[in-house]
């Protein structure tokens, strides 16, 4: 059946009529894992000293749903520990807003998860439609206009007409991120919170009878015309058949996903390096343009022990040095005591990140973070790939192939090689193609295990191991929980976050 109506009308009509029987079992399972991973990021943020200050702005999962959504988004943004799909960091709004409204809307588990799923699918599509433009990743803050409106409209069963007007109003003044603020201050923490508040206000306005422009996404003077150099309105398609949730990636390290492979490689080298850490003379990281770009952007904002959270979260050098020394990366690595560790900064100072065209080609062709969009763009997408991978446009066009009809086989292959050299000339090295938790074959097999491990690791220090295990089991059973059980679950999570 051909889609009818404007892009906003198509999205709103589909989301408002979504039922559990419309959702494949694998997608239902991934939605639970997405929620577990999101809650893990929330607990990690609440454990951090900056997160404790954020709690003064309001109670996560509290009685004031709008303020709860605002604070929760800041906490999940704090350590860049959120999970992603193609395309975008959707969970700050797509999971956070339904969670915030679940109590007052008296949601059962099925309605809560359907709200998360619908918001994810809508926000991912809008983000994909503009992803060939100036903003991607966290800086694509417009993602959360769509996630907040859809998540709340679904939670409160407001219907398609209200959603159409609310999306039209929300996208009337989309956020334009500034890199200097993002990397050089704490403003990055509010990257999702501010558009979430705009989206929630737009829902209130729509309920009061204000009208939005239903063609605002595709209009010649609308959102895509301003926010995309190559607009992809076709990304809105495939509703109910091409599930963006299939491309879920769950972060297992706090920080930018583009440096996860380098961290994984360094973590695998830890047993062979830790006793000789002070003898490291150089660390070479071969990586794609995604990783190289993050290192270049963050480097100017690093200031040793005085570095801000955003710069640290995007720093290959700092993260790799921590992983080599400690065998991983955790919340405590972004607290003052560890950020001031001179041993880490000495090694971070000898890390060199080099562009590898083959790794770029692999990363650019993979569905996430960009390949699916390049395929949708056809020859324009091939030009993007050719420039990033250092190949001819015709070769790029052949490499890309046709657009995906489904994301069931999606990969996020942002790989890296790490080689450590010691003062005596000895070397050790490791290579990672798809980082742990990245979309791919292993993730499809292990997503629930990975999500549970993240939740337990992040929540146990505040909840205690036994309670964290119990809550994890309740979340895993969420599709079958009634409204009182969901309310009780939210109460326990809220109490733990404020412990």
The pLDDT of 103-122, averaged and rounded, is: 98
The pLDDT of 105-124, averaged and rounded, is: 98
| pTM for this predicted structure | 0.96
pLDDT of residue 396: 87
Q: Which CATH superfamily is domain 257-356+415-435 in?
A: 2-methylcitrate dehydratase PrpD (3.30.1330.120)
Alpha-carbon distance of 328 to 305, in angstroms, equals 19
pLDDT of residue 2: 46
SS3 content of the chain, % helix, strand, coil (to 5): 65, 5, 30
pLDDT above 60: residue 31: yes
| Band of residue 487 on the pLDDT scale cut at 50, 70, 90 | very high
The pLDDT of 9-14, averaged and rounded, is: 98
Q: Which of 132-141, 152-161, 262-271 has the lowest mean pLDDT?
A: 132-141
Region for residue 136 given its phi and psi (left: phi exceeds 0; alpha: psi -120 to 50; beta: otherwise): beta
- Tokens representing 359 are 């790794």
pLDDT above 80: residue 136: yes
More confident of the two residues 499 and 246 = 246
Q: Please report how the helices 143-155 and 7-16 are oriented relative to each other, as an axis angle in degrees rounded to 10.
A: 40
| Domain residue extents for the chain | 7-252+447-497, 257-356+415-435
pLDDT of residue 486: 98
Query: What are residue 54's phi and psi, to 5 degrees?
Result: -60, -30
Q: Read off the pLDDT of residues 261-276 as tens digits, 9 standing for 90 and up.
A: 999 999 999 999 999 9
| Band of residue 3 on the pLDDT scale cut at 50, 70, 90 | low
Write the CA distances from 84 to 18, 62, 178, 411, 419, integer angstroms.
22, 25, 21, 12, 28
- Tokens representing 291 are 């990783």
Pairing type for strands 351-355 and 280-287 reads: parallel
Beta-bridge mates of residue 88: 85
Locate tokens 């190949």: which residue?
391
Report whether 267 contacts 430 (CB < 8 A): no
What is the chain's mean pLDDT, rounded? Answer: 96
Alpha-carbon distance of 447 to 272, in angstroms, equals 29
Alpha-carbon distance of 479 to 109, in angstroms, equals 5
- Tokens representing 143 are 């993602």
| Band of residue 63 on the pLDDT scale cut at 50, 70, 90 | very high
pLDDT above 50: residue 147: yes
| Band of residue 389 on the pLDDT scale cut at 50, 70, 90 | confident
Domain 7-252+447-497 grouped into CATH 1.25.60.10: no
pLDDT above 90: residue 120: yes
Report whether 495 contacts 80 (CB < 8 A): no
Alpha-carbon distance of 431 to 463, in angstroms, equals 36
pLDDT above 80: residue 289: yes
Q: Which of 37-51, 310-324, 375-389, 480-494 has the lowest mean pLDDT?
A: 375-389
Write the CA distances from 226 to 9, 112, 134, 268, 372, integer angstroms.
20, 33, 10, 44, 21
pLDDT of residue 222: 97
Q: Read off the pLDDT of residues 335-374 as tens digits, 9 standing for 90 and up.
A: 999 999 999 999 999 999 999 999 999 999 999 999 999 9
pLDDT of residue 93: 98
Alpha-carbon distance of 370 to 363, in angstroms, equals 8
Report whether 68 contacts 58 (CB < 8 A): yes
| Percent above pLDDT 90 for the chain | 94
- Tokens representing 122 are 């809508």
The pLDDT of 306-313, averaged and rounded, is: 94
pLDDT above 60: residue 466: yes
| DSSP annotation string for 159-201 | -HHHHHHHHHHHTTS-----HHHHHHSGGGGGTTHHHHHHHHH
| Percent above pLDDT 70 for the chain | 99
The pLDDT of 141-161, averaged and rounded, is: 98
pLDDT of residue 4: 75
CA 23-29-31 angle, to 5 degrees, is: 80
pLDDT above 50: residue 206: yes
pLDDT above 60: residue 1: no
Report whether 255 contacts 263 (CB < 8 A): yes
């Amino acid at each position: 059946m051909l889609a009818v109506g404007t892009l906003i009308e198509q999205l709103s009509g589909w989301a408002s009529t979504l039922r559990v029987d419309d959702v494949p079992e694998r997608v239902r399972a991934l939605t639970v894992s997405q929620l577990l991973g999101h809650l893990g990021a929330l607990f990690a943020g609440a454990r951090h000293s900056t997160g404790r200050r954020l709690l003064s702005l309001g109670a996560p999962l509290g009685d004031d749903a709008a303020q709860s959504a605002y604070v929760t988004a800041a906490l999940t943004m704090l350590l860049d520990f959120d999970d992603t799909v193609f395309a975008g960091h959707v969970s700050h709004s797509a999971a956070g807003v339904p969670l915030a409204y679940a109590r007052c809307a008296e949601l059962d588990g099925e309605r809560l998860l359907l709200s998360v799923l619908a918001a994810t699918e809508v926000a991912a599509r809008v983000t994909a439609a503009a992803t060939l433009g100036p903003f991607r990743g966290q800086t694509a803050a417009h993602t959360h206009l769509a996630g907040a409106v859809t998540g709340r409209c679904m939670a409160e069963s407001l219907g398609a007409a209200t959603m159409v007007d609310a999306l039209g109003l929300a996208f009337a003044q989309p956020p334009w991120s500034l890199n200097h603020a993002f990397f050089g201050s704490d403003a990055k923490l509010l990257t999702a919170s501010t558009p979430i508040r705009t989206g929630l206000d737009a829902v209130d306005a729509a309920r009061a009878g204000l009208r939005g422009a239903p063609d605002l996404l595709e209009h010649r003077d609308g959102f895509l015309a301003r926010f995309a150099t190559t607009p992809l309105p076709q990304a809105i398609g495939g509703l109910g058949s091409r599930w963006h949730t299939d491309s879920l990636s769950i972060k297992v390290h706090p920080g930018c996903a583009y440096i996860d492979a380098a961290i994984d490689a360094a973590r695998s080298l830890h047993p062979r390096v830790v006793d000789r850490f002070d003898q490291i003379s150089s660390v070479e990281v071969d990586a794609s343009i995604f990783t190289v770009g993050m290192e270049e952007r963050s480097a100017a904002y690093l200031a040793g022990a005085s570095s801000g959270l955003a710069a640290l979260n995007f720093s290959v050098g700092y993260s790799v040095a921590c992983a080599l020394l400690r065998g991983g990366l955790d919340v405590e690595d972004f607290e003052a005591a560890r950020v001031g560790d001179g041993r880490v900064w000495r090694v971070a100072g000898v890390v060199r990140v080099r562009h590898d065209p083959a790794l770029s080609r692999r990363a650019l062709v993979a569905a996430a973070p960009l390949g699916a969009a390049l395929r949708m763009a056809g020859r324009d997408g091939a030009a993007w790939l050719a420039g990033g991978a250092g190949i001819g446009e015709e070769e790029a066009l052949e490499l890309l192939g046709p657009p995906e009809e489904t994301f069931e086989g999606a990969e996020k292959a942002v790989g890296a090689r790490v080689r450590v050299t010691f003062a005596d000339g000895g070397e050790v090295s490791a290579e990672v193609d798809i980082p742990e938790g990245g979309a791919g074959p292993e993730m499809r097999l292990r997503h629930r295990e990975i999500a549970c491990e993240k939740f337990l690791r992040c929540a146990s220090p505040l909840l205690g191991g036994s309670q964290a295990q119990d809550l994890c089991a309740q979340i895993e059973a969420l599709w079958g929980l009634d409204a009182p059980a969901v309310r009780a679950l939210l109460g326990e999570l809220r109490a733990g976050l404020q412990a």
